[in-house]
Chain A
Amino acid sequence: YIHIINKADMAASKGLKILVGCKRVIDYAVKVRVKPDRSGVVTEGVKHSMNPFDEIAVEEAVRMKEKKLAGEAVAISVGPPQSQETLRTALAMGIDRAIHVEIPLAQLEKLQPIHVSKLLAKVCESEKPDLVILGKQAIDDDCNQTGQMLAALLDWPQATFASKIEPSQDSKQLRVTREVDGGLETIDVSVPAVVTSDLRLNEPRYATLPNIMKAKKKPLAKMSPDQLGVDLQPRQEVISVEDPPVRKAGAKVESVEDLVGKLREKGLVK
């Protein structure tokens, strides 16, 4: 069932309204440490930054604005008070305004994509974007679920792992090129839709000092999960978090016969 909203040609309209998701995650360059009680990883005092796939999503929204495909780009982040810094980075890249759904620290660790997608769905009800762009996955949990869940909750079409977004031939839909195992798949989706960004969608820009300073004046609204009426009860329980076992040394083989012999020994080959 494809949900089509009868919109005039995209070229003629005022442009799409885009909602971009940004998550604050531990910076990719940080050495992550598991907590001694094995309940999670150490996040206190650790450098955090915007999820790299979300930077790509923000960049795409800003580019669509520059190409006049989009009229307004709004960034949203679900997270602790510090998520505001992440939103400010998005604003400095060219986003018009930001929304912060603040999660109390106690509930933060147990937050799952199911909760985030419900929160985003609620915001979509009031904001009514034409397009939601999320990073395909976050580099802390690697879930790759929020975008898909959001589309399902809203009953909107989804185009995940996008490496290109452009207007369709007839300008009434979006043509999205997706990166899949078999190669590239091109689909047309009607708006409103959810798209998740993959690595090759674009290369994010650096925030310039003038834009960093302009970002300070852009609106940043705060909301709470209670206001949105979403229950944050965890559905999963993390039993333990551990370092992976230290990689053992391998064995070098001299010939193909050797290799086959060793594979037989391990019962991997009959």
Chain B
Amino acid sequence: MQFIRPVLHSQVCTSARPSARQFLQKLGKSCSFSLNSSSTRLYSTEFFPINDELYGLTDEQKQLRQTIFQFCQKELAPKAQQIDAENDFKDIKKFWRQCGELGLLGVTAPTEYGGLGASYLDHAIVMEEMSRACAAVALSYGAHSNLCVNQIVRHGTDEQKSRYLPKLISGEWIGALAMSEPNAGSDVVSMTMRADKQSDGSYVLNGSKFWITNGPDADVIVVYAKTKPEAGAHGITTFLVERDSPGFSCSRKLDKLGMRGSNTGELVFDGVRVPADRVMGRLDGGVYVLMSGLDIERLLLSAGPLGIMQAACDTAFQYAHIRKAFGQSIGQFQLLQGKMADMYCRLTSGRCYVYSVARALAQGSRQPMDCAGVILKCAEDATQSALDAIQILGGNGYINEYPAGRLLRDAKLYEIGAGTSEVRRLVIGRAINNIYKS
């Protein structure tokens, strides 16, 4: 007779599941006599399964998801709570190296620079699974791999790519992108940072940037500044600035509501000299780099709230089936069934939207309307799903030992960064107006 022992957690496991290795260790120390040790086996469905059949993913993409899932659940998820509590990801350099080894920091970068030469959809899958494990670190990852690396891939000269991409992709360097200023967020083209041309052809940057993800840690930053302030939006130029440039500093790390662990900073440029060959793209043509970059950024980052919604389902659905009240598991009560159904539909429809736009983008079709639409939808849905997760966990959802509160605080960022929900609605509305313009 075979005995299998399901052993339920006596309380819902709030930290990530034990990895396969820990599981094997529980099977029986160092001893070969593991015949008796299946008694300590842990069984639980800690993850709400993803039906990859729905999304038309290739076999490689399904395997990619599996790999990133295992990697992030082992290396990142166990630290997520601590990272949030400390507002710092101490092991970021080590984690960046590990990502570098797996090629994750340059998913869309050409292989000649160490990248994977893969598609936006592959990148989105990586972003989603990382966000599921720890949304804050995933945000830093997205800023590095898409906002910085991908912009250099798209607009850098061969010399700039050779100089910056290999170390950014190996994980030796951390990248960032700086466009927003203390007085220019939604109205980013009204930025006041100046880039004054010098007699030797170089530029001197003066001003400050605000809310910059990875700002405190970045080695390389894509910076937008006005080379021709009187030309407004058409006087912006893109620069590549290195951390050790004299006059450059990160004046402070911001203390945020959520995404704690994704270091966000205020960057000060006090007479920072940038050589002429660090201009990226056309002089005064930065607005094109900025705006087209924003579209791709929105698509890629929309996988962030997707991961949060998945994490919300992972946590809440399991809890609902373990927690008992009035003689049965609470997940069987109709009001909670309804909540879980809503969470499921938001997640699944969001995934369909993200993957569709990613595929279209990969094939060269970039529609600002859909890039804005996808992050608008996913961000607001993620906030709602996180609220639902807290509600399902009830009193426990309100305690920081459980991840639901962090999911909400992290989700809210996505309604603001990369263009607020309001701006996204404007973009879509105006695009629709354009269709009917006579």
Contacts and interface: CB of A to CB of B under 8 A. Distances in A.
Given A238-B1, A244-B3, A52 B20 contact: yes
Contact of A210 (B23, B33, B45, B116): B116
Contacts of B30: 163, 179, 198-200
Interface in B17-52: 17, 20-21, 23-25, 27, 30-35, 38, 41, 43-47, 49
A123 interface: no
B20 A55 contact: yes
From B20, B49, B64, residue with most partner A Cβ within 10 Å:
B20
B45 A30 contact: yes
Given A239-B1, A240-B1, A28 B35 contact: no
Given A243-B4, A244-B5, A210 B20 contact: no
Interface in A113-170: 136-137, 139, 141-142, 144, 160-161, 163
A8 interface: no
Given A206-B102, A238-B2, A160 B60 contact: no
B17 A209 contact: no
Contacts of B116: 209-210
Given A92-B63, A216-B59, A209 B38 contact: no
A241 B2 contact: yes
Given A52-B20, A208-B103, A242 B32 contact: no
B3 A209 contact: no
A178 B20 CA distance: 21
A30 B43 contact: yes
Given A137-B34, A203-B21, A216-B59, A209 B64 contact: yes
B32 A139 contact: no
A32 B23 contact: no
Given A52-B20, A142-B34, A181-B31, A209 B2 contact: no
A203 to B, nearest CB: 7
A230 interface: no
A212 interface: yes
From A29, A144, A161, residue with most partner B Cβ within 10 Å:
A29
Interface of A: 28-34, 41, 47, 52-53, 55, 88-89, 92, 136-137, 139, 141-142, 144, 160-161, 163, 178-181, 198-200, 203, 206-210, 212-213, 216, 238-244
Given A34-B4, A139-B24, A238-B2, 5 more contacts: A31-B43, A32-B6, A53-B24, A180-B32, A209-B118
17 contacts: A28-B24, A29-B43, A31-B43, A89-B63, A139-B41, A163-B30, A181-B31, A181-B33, A198-B30, A199-B21, A199-B30, A208-B101, A209-B103, A210-B116, A212-B63, A243-B4, A244-B5
